[in-house]
Amino acid sequence: MTSSTDPAAAVQTPAARTPSRRVTSLDVVRGLMLCVSVGVNSLLATPAWFDHAGWVGVNGLDLVFPVFVTLTGCGLGFAMHRRTNVRTLARRVLVLVAAGLLYNALTTNAWDPGTWRFTGVLQLYAGVVVVIVLGHLLTRSARGWFVVTTVLAVTWTTVLAWFATTCAGGELTRECNPSGVVDLAVFGAPHVYWQGAAGHDPEGLLATLGACVSAAAGATVGHLVLSRPGPRACLRPVLLVVAGFLALAAATTWVPELLTGQAVPLMKRLWTPPFALLVGAGVCLALLLGHLLLDRPSAPTGLRRVVWPLEALGRNSLLVYFGSHVVMALLGHHAGADGRNLAQRVADTVAVAGHPQLSFTVLALLVWGAIAAVLHRRRIYLRP
């Protein structure tokens, strides 16, 4: 846990002596994403049409974590626009990995070290932080990060397209995909997603490469925003970057088909480049809209007050995102004699006008909003 006044250990450039510029729109967009995340976590039963896609394709729930990762890349781009924190990197990564193991045990209620899942969302997140931080030793420009995004996307596309040629029919399946080979070989079946029964790991080593495409896209727009004198100056460049991401998404989908006869599919399970780039383009547009509305000097004071709760949520996005997952998992464990778990009991208790789900979701949003507001007032933030 760090405060906003903590000194940053760094490899610094001369530009590090210039004052920083807080971009409110990033926190507000993160706050909106967290409202969706907390609302999703509060679902007592997830509708099939919204739940994670079984393999190829994308459903609503597949978008939440990738949007979070893309916004993380943007935030790291802001934080490292002038300096790169390397002294604290190892400690933060170790903390994230250790927290990820605990997170897995809490959310699945599995405490046997012989079957602990070594991979997971926090471990993937730690890998993304490593890549983005080290990438800032190479470049701190929007153009440079667009190149990094392109290189990562092309690399992952090449791996997927090549591996598909080794599969029956030239198609990536649960039974034939690179994650099912690499992640199981590195960690062992008992220590990955569904103990290897799923045939892949959506938060394994190879999925981390796809997540880095999303984060690098976020870093691109982050550096682009900070390199411009104001929101209006960002309009055309951001739209050009979005067009570039869309073109890359099309290229990483169809060029493999021209070369091998099989397109790289749009899917979250393997975090394919077309998926990562389309999410990146959407997040860029949301950030641009927020930047135009909130970060101009003439932004109405009333509007800033209205979005302050979202800003507070966004400033502690790591805590709220993962904390809400853990709390809901704990509430969902151990059904009573009547078959209801603690979450269902709380929902029935707070139900207003016969709507337990809606009432429970509103309660969850209010609780996490209050926690974020108190921490924001005290300038206490949990950082990656």
Specify the amino acid at residue 60. G
For the record, the structure tokens of 108 come out as 């699945």
Q: What is the 3-state secondary structure (H, E, C) of the chain?
A: CEECCCCCCCEECHHHHCCCCCCHHHHHHHHHHHHHHHHHHCCCCCCCCCCCCCCCECCHHHHHHHHHHHHHHHHHHHHCCCEECCCCHHHHHHHHHHHHHHHHHHHHCCCCHHHCCCCCHHHHHHHHHHHHHHHCCCCCCHHHHHHHHHHHHHHHHHHHHHHHCCCHHHCCCCCCCHHHHHHHHHHCHHHCHHHHCCCCCCCCHHHHHHHHHHHHHHHHHHHHHHCCCCHHHHHHHHHHHHHHHHHHHHHHHHHHHHHHCCCCCCECCCCCHHHHHHHHHHHHHHHHHHHHHHCCCCCCHHHHHHHHHHHHHHHCHHHHHHHHHHHHHHHHCCCCCCCCCHHHHHHHHHCECCEHHHHHHHHHHHHHHHHHHHHHHCCEECCC
22-31, 85-94, 156-165: range with lowest mean pLDDT: 85-94
11-15, 104-108, 293-297: range with lowest mean pLDDT: 11-15
For the record, the structure tokens of 187 come out as 């960690």
Q: Give the pLDDT confidence of 258-285 residue by residue, as tens digits.
A: 988 889 999 999 999 999 999 999 999 9
Percent of the chain at pLDDT > 90 equals 77
Q: Give the pLDDT confidence of 105-162 residue by residue, as tens digits.
A: 888 877 888 888 999 999 999 999 999 999 999 999 999 999 999 999 999 999 999 9
Average pLDDT over every residue of 199-227: 96
Average pLDDT over every residue of 245-257: 96
pTM confidence score: 0.90
Considering Cα of 17, then 96, then 2, then 222, what sign does the dihedral take? positive
Q: Give the pLDDT confidence of 157-178 residue by residue, as tens digits.
A: 999 999 999 999 899 999 999 9
Of 240, 243, 245, 301, residue with least CA distance to 73:
245
